Structure 1
Amino acid sequence: MAGADVQPAGPPTRRPSVERLQGQPLRARLRRALQQNTRVRLLWRALGENRKAADPGRSSPNGGAGRKCLDFACGTGRIANVAAGLFGEVVGADISRPMLDCAQVPPNVRLRHIDMTREPLGETFDVVTAFRFFLNAEDQLKSDALKAINEHLKDGGRLVCNVHMNATSPIGLVCRLLNRLSGRTIRHTLSTTAFKELLTASGFRVEEMTPYGYLPRPGNLLPGVCGALIEPFEKVSRTLRVPGQLAQHFLVVAKKR
Structure 2
Amino acid sequence: MMRSGWSDYGTRFADEESVETYARLYGEGTYDEYVWSLERPTVVDLLRQERHQRGRLRLLDFACGTGRTLAAVDEVADEVTGVDISAEMARHAARSSPKADIKVGCVLSEELLSGPYDAVTIFRFFLNAPQKLRLPVLRKIREHMERDALLVFNNHGHCPSLRSLAVRVPKPRPQPPNELRHRDIVQLLSDSGFRIERRYGFSLFPPVLHRHLPAPVLRRADAAAASPRLRRIPQRVMSEQLYVARAVGEP
* Higher mean C-alpha deviation, range 135-144 or range 240-249: 240-249
Is structure 2 residue 47 aligned with structure 1 residue 42?
no
| Cα displacement (A) at 1:235 | 1.4
Q: Deviations over 1:201-229 (max 9, x none)?
A: 11111111111111332188259x53674
| AA aligned opposite 2:147 | D
Structure 2, unpaired ranges of 5+: 3-15, 17-32
Alignment of 1:221-232 (within 5 A): 221=211, 225-226=214-215, 229-232=218-221
Is structure 2 residue 108 aligned with structure 1 residue 117?
yes
Q: Deviations over 1:72-93 (max 9, x none)?
A: 0001111011110110111100
Q: Number of residue pairs matched?
A: 213
Alignment of 1:138-149 (within 5 A): 138-149=130-141
Which of 189, 196, 207 matches 2:186? 196
Q: Deviations over 1:24-71 (max 9, x none)?
A: xxxxxxxxxxxxx6433421434578x8xxxxxxx9444687321100
Cα 1:44–1:106 shift into 2, 3 Å:
closer
Q: What secondary structure sits across from 2:208 in the alignment?
A: coil
Identity of aligned residues (%): 28
Q: Deviations over 1:171-195 (max 9, x none)?
A: 12343x469933413x301111211
Which of 74, 80, 105 matches 2:70? 80
Match in the other structure for 2:202? 212
Match in the other structure for 1:135? 127
TM-score normalised over the length of structure 1: 0.71
**Distance (Å, rounded) in 1 between the aligned partners of 2:34 and 2:76:** 17
Match in the other structure for 1:55? none
Structure 1, unpaired ranges of 5+: 3-8, 10-36, 52-58
Match in the other structure for 2:20? none
Cα 1:193–1:234 shift into 2, 3 Å:
farther
**Distance (Å, rounded) in 2 between the aligned partners of 1:158 and 1:43:** 17
CA contact (8 A) 2:202 2:225 kept: no
Q: What secondary structure sits across from 2:140 in the alignment?
A: helix
| Cα displacement (A) at 1:102 | 2.4
Is structure 2 residue 165 aligned with structure 1 residue 169?
no
Match in the other structure for 2:175? 184
Cα 1:69–1:47 shift into 2, 3 Å:
closer
| AA aligned opposite 1:45 | P
Deviating above 4 A after TM superposition, structure 1's stretches of 4 or more consecutive aligned residues are 46-49, 177-180, 236-241
Cα 1:40–1:182 shift into 2, 3 Å:
closer
Q: CA RMSD in A?
A: 3.1
| Cα displacement (A) at 1:160 | 0.5
**Distance (Å, rounded) in 2 between the aligned partners of 1:163 and 1:146:** 14
Is structure 2 residue 139 aligned with structure 1 residue 150?
no
Match in the other structure for 2:92? 102
* Higher mean C-alpha deviation, range 197-206 or range 38-47: 38-47
CA contact (8 A) 1:166 1:250 kept: yes
Q: What secondary structure sits across from 1:102 in the alignment?
A: helix
| Cα displacement (A) at 1:122 | 2.7
**Distance (Å, rounded) in 2 between the aligned partners of 1:105 and 1:159:** 22
Cα 1:130–1:237 shift into 2, 3 Å:
closer
Is structure 2 residue 235 aligned with structure 1 residue 244?
yes
Cα 1:48–1:84 shift into 2, 3 Å:
closer
CA contact (8 A) 1:47 1:60 kept: no
**Distance (Å, rounded) in 1 between the aligned partners of 2:140 and 2:62:** 10
| AA aligned opposite 2:192 | S
Cα 1:179–1:205 shift into 2, 3 Å:
farther
TM-score normalised over the length of structure 2: 0.73
CA contact (8 A) 1:93 1:113 kept: yes
| AA aligned opposite 2:68 | R
**Distance (Å, rounded) in 1 between the aligned partners of 2:139 and 2:209:** 32
| Cα displacement (A) at 1:101 | 2.1
CA contact (8 A) 1:217 1:226 kept: no
